[in-house]
Amino acid sequence: MRRAVVIPHRCRTDLLGQSLESVRGETVFVVDDTDAGSLALADASVRVVPGGRGIGFARAVNRGLAAAEAAGFTHALVLNDDATPEPGCLDGLAAAWTSDCGAVGPLLVGPDGLESAGMHLSRWGRLRTRTEVPPGGRPVAVQAISGACMLLRTGDRFDEGYVHGMEDVSLCRALRRAGRQVRLVPTVRCRHLGGATVDRRSATAQRHAVAGHLRLVGGGVRTPVVLGLAVAQVVREGPDRARLAAIRDGWLHWRSRR
């Protein structure tokens, strides 16, 4: 395995600096997706890849993966610019990789504790994030892992139809359909601040989440489930007219792209 790190960067250079420090010693491809498109980094081990000034996570990561692949790297740790792997995380993920793997990821830890131990999509379209550590300490097969920190082959690509959200679940599903395993490694961890690129409770994030969720499940009879879950979440977190309107906008955006 010849590995690199791919970090899509939109804003918050202070957080990017922390992320880069956490993977010091690795070859890193930072995709410049800032509005100015003029990101400059002094570290010689960091290669800046031109982005698209707001093209979104999937497209930005794909550019980074393509650059890493062209440079001869076989695998890449895809890492959010607000994520910091704990010491030994990347080595632990690499050690857990086997020939039948499509992606492996660590426990994701947020400010309030365990954020994700894998994700599960029900047949009716409900997406659940697991927050229980699997027993035994061995890598376990899961439906999906978070794109905030995942190791995969540089030849794989995210579906660019997703703007911000659900592209990681989509990729993991595609990998499993191709006969490759998606595994969680519960002995390693990555810290994730979350919301540094797009505030999760903003109207923008809500619109992207609904459009991405509908794209993921294919609409149909699952459409009311997706919309109902989104409305329930907004109401539970505090009624917000802009977010409720964004649910409608996300549905309309998805319909226009079918």
- The HSE-up count of residue 11 (CA atoms within 13 Å, CB side) is 10
The reply to whether 179 and 243 lie within a common domain is no
**186 in a domain, yes or no?**
yes
Q: What is the phi/psi pair of residue 84, to 5°? A: -135, 105
Q: How many CB atoms lie within 10 A of CB 3?
A: 19
Q: Give the pLDDT band of residue 27 (cuts 50, 70, 90).
A: very high
Q: Same structural domain for residues 156 and 75?
A: yes
* pLDDT at residue 102, rounded to an integer: 97
* Structural domain of 84: 3-192
Q: Are residues 28 and 132 in the same domain?
A: yes
State pLDDT tens for residues 36-83.
767 777 677 788 898 777 788 999 999 999 999 999 999 999 999 999
Q: Which of 192, 215, 247 is the last residue of a domain?
A: 192
- Per the DSSP assignment, residues forming a β-bridge with 49 are 31
pLDDT band at 196 (very low <50, low <70, confident <90, very high): low
Residue 197 counted as domain residue: no
Assess whether 140 and 16 both reside in one domain: yes
Q: Is residue 130 part of a domain?
A: yes
* Same domain flag for 98 and 154: yes
Q: Which of 192, 219, 243 is the last residue of a domain?
A: 192
Are 77 and 180 contained in the same domain? Answer: yes
239 assigned to some structural domain: yes
Q: What is the pLDDT of residue 195?
A: 66
Q: What is the pLDDT of residue 42?
A: 67
Same domain, yes or no: 79 and 98: yes
Domain count, the chain: 2
Q: Which of 139, 166, 192 is the last residue of a domain?
A: 192
**Judgement on whether residues 104 and 207 belong to the same structural domain of the protein:** no
DSSP codes, 2-63: -EEEEEEE-S-HHHHHHHHHHTTTS-EEEEE-SSS-------TTEEEEE--SS--HHHHHHH
pLDDT over 80 at 252, yes or no? yes
Domain contains 82:
yes
pLDDT in tens, 207-221: 989 998 999 988 888
